Amino acid sequence: MRVALDAFDAPAPLRLAARVLAWPFSWLGEKGDPTLPPVVRAIQALGPAYIKFGQIMSTRPDVVGAEMATQLRVLQDKLPPFPIEEAKKQIEEELGMPVDEIYSDFSEPVAAASIAQVHKATLRETGEEVAIKVLRPGIERAFRKDLDAFWFAAAMIETLSPSSRRLRPRDVIAHFEGVVMGELDLRLEAAAASEFQANTVKDEGFELPQVNWMLSGRKVMTMSWAAGESLGDNAALDAAGHDRAVLSQRVLQLFLNHALRDGFFHADMHQGNLKVAPNGNIIAYDFGIMGHIDEYTRRVYAEILFGFIRRDYKRVAEVHFEAGYVPGDRDIDEFARALRAVGEPIFGMDATRISMGKLLAYLFEVTERFGMETRTELILLQRTMVVVEGVARSLDPRMNIWKVAQPVVEDYIKGSIGPKAAASDLWKTAQVMARFGPRLPKLVEAALIRQATPEPEPRKRPWASRVGWASLGCALGVAGTLALHMFN
């Protein structure tokens, strides 16, 4: 705990509270491989949901320090694997064929993460080298236990700290639960990979492995083998002759293109899921977490980025108010000045001297001061932006995020905001109205009838009915969660 608090440069009151509350769990740092650092061992012992958080922190040496970030990279793809016999058993159950009939060669695990591990194999029929992703046995139950703990913590936080409700802890956990449960069905991951492939097939300097649908299922996914150097191994990249400054810019611009142009992006872009091919292309894999944002949100996000790039803080503030991200009763000019305090140090200082930890702390103060609530639709986008920027800075510490983002954001703004975009929006609206055209008379008639008909008097119901089954269900749910923790 002390090591983690030092890495985050936590204030003294938080250090004291954390040490007191965490003391009963100090034994977690002694579990697992004794050759690994205590923080890594503790995160592994806590469970797969906590490992996800550790993976994010591993991309941010500017937040947790270079040494801690390096230690946490073990969590990306070097966790303890489960036995190869278990993997073969799951493959045979899923595909309905003996492993030896499908593959002429089947390796020990080449990578192991929180949810699954990967084996390299050769198809007996074609001789193609493939990567086989296999879910960890019992992973769904392990995640359920972590999520139950998160739900309990969110409820306690909202109860003990009413001011935290603007952060919507329970909504955040609900969002996280949806993302995680989607990761546990590899058929959905295969579908996401296929859609991502179709969107990015013309992207220069970017490639994806191909899904083998015939050899994929709920617990197993087979893809073509991606050969290359890990994007997290700077020494190997240098030895292979790759320009890390170019790669740094490319990984950020690719993410922005996918998010703004397509509204569908890889939302787990840490170094463990990225390689560099011999020809210099960036290869992405592991599509369990994908982000989706609608056209309106993309435009808001682009205008905010564009305002920061132009240092037009008044326009950035206006966009926040227009989108409803800041309550309308707050002072827009004061908010613009707060944003200037965020943006100016980034523009006026060498990237290597920017304290991202202090910047994030100030951003949190700003959101609290202006009553900004957590936007669950933006969680994946914001999280991925933090990760991708961290990956880019690990390749080139002097990379300027705003200069790199500028051409991508400007291109999107030109095509999505202005007369051309307005005409496109009107045309889309007309198409929707045309589809509903034959039904419009009946819809209007039904609405007029409802308006003219008086509503009946509400009938008095017995006490149990007034309380409602939903409330009873909530109470039983809380009791069930507590019981689950007591008996697990």
- The length of the chain, given as a count of residues: 488
Q: What residue has token string 């369990």?
A: 288
Distance CA 211, CA 223 (A): 4
Active-site residue flag, 268:
yes
* Cβ contact 401:252 at 8 Å: yes
453 three-state secondary structure: coil
* Cβ contact 197:404 at 8 Å: no
Running DSSP on this structure, what letter comes out for residue 355? Answer: -
Tokens linked to 356: 């991202």
Distance CA 286, CA 145 (A): 24
Q: How many CB atoms lie within 10 A of CB 450?
A: 9
Distance CA 275, CA 195 (A): 20
Backbone conformation region of residue 225, classed left if phi is above 0, alpha if psi is from -120 to 50, else beta: beta
Distance CA 351, CA 122 (A): 45
Q: Which of 77, 268, 286, 396 is catalytic?
A: 268
Distance CA 256, CA 283 (A): 16
Q: Name, in order, each residue with C-beta under 8 angstroms of 313's C-beta and a sequence gap of 6 or more.
A: 307, 336, 337, 339, 340, 343
Separation in Å, CA 66 to CA 36, 63, 72: 16, 9, 10
Q: How many CB atoms lie within 10 A of CB 400?
A: 14
Distance CA 26, CA 42 (A): 8
For 259-296, letters b (16+ CB in 10 Å) and e give: bbbbbbbbbbbbbbbbbbbeeebbbbbbbbbbbbbeee
The torsion of the CA quartet 346, 349, 350, 351, rounded to 10 degrees, works out to -20
Task: Please list the active-site residues.
Answer: 268
